[in-house]
Amino acid sequence: MVGSAVVRLLRKNGCENLLLRSKAELNLLDTIAVKEFFNVEKPDVVILAAARVGGIQANIDHPAEFLYENLVIQSNIIHQSYLNGVEKFCFLGSSCIYPRECVQPMKEEYLLNGPLEPTNEGYAIAKIAGLKMIEFYKNQYGFNGISLMPCNIYGTNDSFDPKHSHVLSALVKKMVDAEAVGASNVTIWGTGEAKREFMHVDDAAEAILFYLENKIDSSFINVGLGIDIPIKELAEKIVVFAGYQGKLLWDKSKPNGMMRKCMDVSRMKDSGFTPKIMLEDGIKMLIEEYKQKVQQQAGESK
């Protein structure tokens, strides 16, 4: 999702000399393959958007894979970028790096001030390691890298897979599907009280290019809107925009995850970057994209 948004933006800005590889063409878990790629291609700029990602259940079921795969991917890419003289590097982390009981809104200096949220601890530890690797390589070797910690990202090319999707895309799928079949109710995990902050993937892409083009002193920086919303309120907005007429049921036996993850984006604003796409507009865009995806799949199955 993020990688494709960055590619769209780069091409829109006239950048065509892009070194793109699919997972089938370059397995980032393969240290030798990654080394050979860098030795041959010698990229000037690297944006590390690749990662093992997923929602609460995926993180609960596969913490070892989330830790191992992300550690290996980022270690391979960061180290080879340093060895091959990459001029600019951007690493994407996550707001889950902050402690479970973190003071809100979460400032960059709150990193490692307390225990992590258990449901995504493996992923969080990997992202913290990547952030620190960038910081250490920057301090020790002068490596020109920056780590961006975005809030929850959604938008074009989002995953709607029930096992791997995040909350916003999962809710869009639930409501649109329920409306299509006239379901009387929809069940949602948790109590609806947890709050989340959301940023459209096109804004995330804009942030990446902004920080590659503008030098700042910080080794990592929060990126988001600085405004969060309860999941219950989010679900109700999606209900309205999807035209669903049924009832929402909350399965309180399921985990909420971290109760609040609102970013302090003062450092981001001070640097001169501000996201442009508001949540309501982004939700409407995602609903239309999902409907088009469903129609396309229906056409292909005929």
How long is the chain?
Answer: 302
pLDDT of 187 reads 95
pLDDT of 46 reads 98
| CATH at residue 63 | 3.40.50.720
Please name the residues in contact with 52: beta carbons below 8 A apart, sequence gap of 6 or more. Answer: 65, 66, 69, 70, 73, 123
**How confident is the model over 145-176, as pLDDT tens digits?**
999 999 999 999 998 987 777 899 999 999 99
**Cα–Cα distance list, 236 to 162, 173, 220 (Å):** 20, 14, 34
pLDDT of 16 reads 87
pLDDT of 302 reads 67
At residue 249, the 3 state secondary structure works out as strand
Which residue of the set 98, 123, 244, 290 is catalytic?
123
**How confident is the model over 124-138, as pLDDT tens digits?**
999 999 999 999 999
From the centroid of its chain, how far is CA 283?
A: 16
CA–CA distance, 216 with 227 (Å, rounded to integer): 23
CA–CA distance, 150 with 170 (Å, rounded to integer): 19
DSSP 17: -
Residue 24 domain boundaries:
2-301
pLDDT of 232 reads 97
pLDDT of 215 reads 86
Reply yes or no on whether 68 is catalytic: no
* Domain count for the chain: 1
pLDDT of 143 reads 96
Low-confidence ranges of the chain (pLDDT < 70): 302
